[in-house]
């Protein structure tokens, strides 16, 4: 789900709704609950400097990266030229940075809120 402290108000309300649906005693089949970072939203909330996302789970997306970019291009109205955060160059840079943090070519990072290993 979106990070609860994203600057985008819709992300906050979506996250609150999802959290209500992730209570282990109501839905025990939900084993992992994670926040995802959103380029242009997660790091832009100046009121939560002490509540930065704690990225602690990385997913190698190297073999899916081209498909991700194809999907992003569908939302062309959300993209703009670099240095705009939602530029193809910024998206590529973030995927490369996250990859370098976990030993992959391209990666996405998440904050694990709850994880159950069986």
DSSP state letters, 15-64: HHHHHHT--TTT-TT--EEEEE--TTTTT--GGGTT------EEEE-GGG
Rounded to an integer, the average pLDDT of 83-106 is: 97
pTM of this prediction?
0.90
Q: What token pair was written down for 45?
A: 């909330």
How many independent structural domains does the chain possess?
A: 1
Does residue 99 register a pLDDT over 90? yes
Has residue 23 been placed in a domain? Answer: yes
Whether residue 2 is contained in a domain is answered as no
- Establish if 76 belongs to a structural domain: yes
Cβ(92)–Cβ(16) below 8 Å: no
Q: Structural domain of residue 28, as residue ranges?
A: 9-115
Specify if 1 maps to a domain.
no
Lowest mean pLDDT among 4-13, 38-47, 56-65: 38-47
* Residue 72 located in a structural domain: yes
Q: Is residue 102 part of a domain?
A: yes
Strand order in the sheet with 32-36: 32-36, 107-115, 57-60
Q: Is residue 35 part of a domain?
A: yes
Out of 40-44, 62-66, 94-98, 104-108, which region has the weakest mean confidence (pLDDT)?
40-44
User: How many whole angstroms separate alpha carbon 1 and alpha carbon 54?
Assistant: 14
pLDDT band at 49 (very low <50, low <70, confident <90, very high): low
Is residue 79 assigned to a domain?
yes
């Amino acid at each position: 789900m979106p990070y609860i402290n994203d600057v985008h108000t819709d992300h906050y309300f979506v996250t609150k709704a999802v959290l209500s649906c992730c209570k282990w005693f109501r839905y025990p089949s939900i084993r992992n609950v994670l926040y995802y970072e959103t380029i242009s939203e997660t790091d832009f909330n100046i009121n939560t400097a002490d509540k930065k996302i704690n990225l602690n789970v990385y997913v190698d997306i190297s073999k899916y990266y081209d498909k991700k970019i194809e999907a992003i291009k569908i939302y062309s109205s959300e993209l703009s030229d670099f240095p705009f955060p939602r530029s193809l160059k910024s998206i590529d840079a973030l995927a490369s940075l996250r990859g370098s943090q976990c030993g992959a070519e391209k990666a996405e990072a998440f904050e694990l809120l709850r994880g159950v290993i069986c």
